[in-house]
Chains A and B, each alone.
Chain A
Amino acid sequence: MDRLKAEDLKKMISIQSLTFSYPSGEFRLDIEKLSVASGDKVAFVGPSGSGKTTLLNLVAGILPPQKGSIKVDNDEINSLGDSSRRNFRITNIGFIFQDFGLLDYLDVRDNILHPYRITDALKLNSDIRGRADMLAEQMGIADKLQRHPSDLSHGERQRVAICRALLPEPKLILADEATGNLDPNNKAHILELLFQSVEDHGATLLAVTHDHELLPHFDNVINFSDFLQGETT
Chain B
Amino acid sequence: MMDSLYLAWRYLVYNKKKTFILVCCITIIAALPLALEVLLNESERQLALRAKSSPLLIGAKGSALDLVMNSLYFGDEVPETITMAATDQVMDTGLAAPIPLYVRFKSRGFPIVGTTLDYFDFRSLELAQGDMFTMLGQCIIGAEVARELALKPGDFVVSSPETLFDIAGVYPLKMKITGVLAPSHNADDLAVFADIQTAWVIQGLGHGHKDVTRTTDSSVILKKEESNVTANAKLMQYTEITKDNIDSFHLHGDAINFPLTAVLALPYDEKAGTILQGRYLEKEMPYQIVRPKEVIDTLMANIFKIRNVLDAVILFVGSATLLALVLVFSLSLRLREREIDVIFKLGCSRATIVKLLGAELFIIILISAGVCAGLLAFVHYYDQSLVRSLFI
Chains A and B in contact, CB within 8 Å: yes
Using a CB–CB distance below 8 Å, which chain A residues touch chain B?
57, 60, 62, 82-83, 86-87, 89-91, 93, 95, 97, 99, 101, 103-106, 110, 114-115, 117-119, 121, 124, 148
* CB-based contact A118/B10 at 8 Å: no
With A97-B345, A106-B10 already in contact, 14 other A-B pairs whose C-beta atoms are closer than 8 Å: A60-B345, A90-B346, A93-B347, A95-B342, A101-B345, A103-B339, A105-B13, A110-B10, A117-B4, A118-B3, A118-B346, A118-B348, A119-B348, A148-B14
Q: How far is the CB of B350 from chain A (nearest CB, A)?
A: 9
Pairwise interchain contact B345-A105, C-beta atoms closer than 8 A: no
CA distance A215 to B156 in the complex (A): 96
A89 to chain B, nearest CB (A): 4
Q: Mark B311-353, 1 if CB is under 8 A from A, else 0.
A: 0000000000000000000000000001100111111110010
**B1-25, CB < 8 A from A:** 3-4, 6-7, 10-11, 13-15
Query: Is B14 a contact of A121 with CB atoms below 8 Å?
Result: no
Chain B hits for A118, CB < 8 A? 3, 7, 343, 346-348, 352, 356
Give A83 to B344 CA distance when docked, in angstroms. Answer: 12
Question: Shortest distance in angstroms between B16's beta carbon and chain A's nearest beta carbon?
Answer: 11
CB pair B7–A117 under 8 Å, yes or no, is yes
Interface residues in B252-290 by Cβ distance below 8 A to A read none
Are B347 and A121 in touch, CB under 8 angstroms? yes
Q: Say which residue of A87, A91, A105 sits within 8 Å of B15 (CB atoms).
A: A105
B-side interface residues toward A, CB under 8 Å?
3-4, 6-7, 10-11, 13-15, 338-339, 342-349, 352, 356
Instruction: Count chain B CB atoms within 10 A of each CB in A82, A89, A148 and give the residue with the most.
Output: A89
CA distance A106 to B15 in the complex (A): 11
* Residue of chain B at shortest CB distance from A165: B346
Closest residue to B14 on the A side, CB-wise? A105
The residue in chain A whose Cβ has the minimal distance to the Cβ of B346 is: A115
Partner of A117, one of B3, B11, B14, B15: B3
The reply to whether B345 and A95 form a contact with Cβ atoms under 8 Å apart is yes
Question: Would you mind naming 19 contact pairs between A and B with Cβ atoms under 8 Å apart?
Answer: A60-B345, A83-B349, A89-B346, A93-B347, A95-B342, A97-B345, A101-B342, A104-B14, A105-B10, A105-B13, A106-B10, A115-B346, A117-B4, A117-B6, A117-B7, A118-B7, A118-B356, A119-B347, A119-B349
- The answer to whether B11 and A105 have CB atoms under 8 Å apart is yes
Bound Cα distance A82, B7 (Å):
24
With CB as the reference atom, state the residue of chain B lying closest to A85: B347
* Smallest CB gap from B8: residue in A: A105
Q: Name the A residues within 8 Å of B14 (CB-CB).
A: 104-105, 148
B-side contacts of A82, CB under 8 Å: 349
Q: Find out whether the CB atom of B346 lies under 8 angstroms from the CB atom of A114.
A: yes
Whole-angstrom distance between the alpha carbons of A116 and B349 in the complex? 13
B4 neighbours in A (Cβ, 8 Å): 117
Instruction: Please give the distance in Å from A80's CB to the nearest CB on chain B.
Output: 13
How near does chain A come to B219, taking the closest CB pair, in angstroms? 88
Once bound together, how far apart are the Cα atoms of A8 and B345, in whole Å?
26
* Contact partners of A115 in chain B: CB under 8 A: 346-347
Given contacts A99-B338, A101-B342, contact A90 B347 (CB under 8 A): yes
Q: Report chain B residues within 8 Å CB of A93.
A: 347
B6 to chain A, nearest CB (A): 7
Residues in B whose Cβ lies below 8 Å from that of A95: 342, 345-346
Chain A residues whose CB sits within 8 angstroms of the CB of B344 once the complex forms: 62
Contacts of A121 in B (CB 8 A): 347
Shortest beta-carbon distance from A7 to chain B in Å: 25
B343's nearest neighbour on chain A, judged by CB, is A118
Closest residue of chain A to B4 (Cβ to Cβ) is A117
The reply to whether B345 and A62 form a contact with Cβ atoms under 8 Å apart is yes
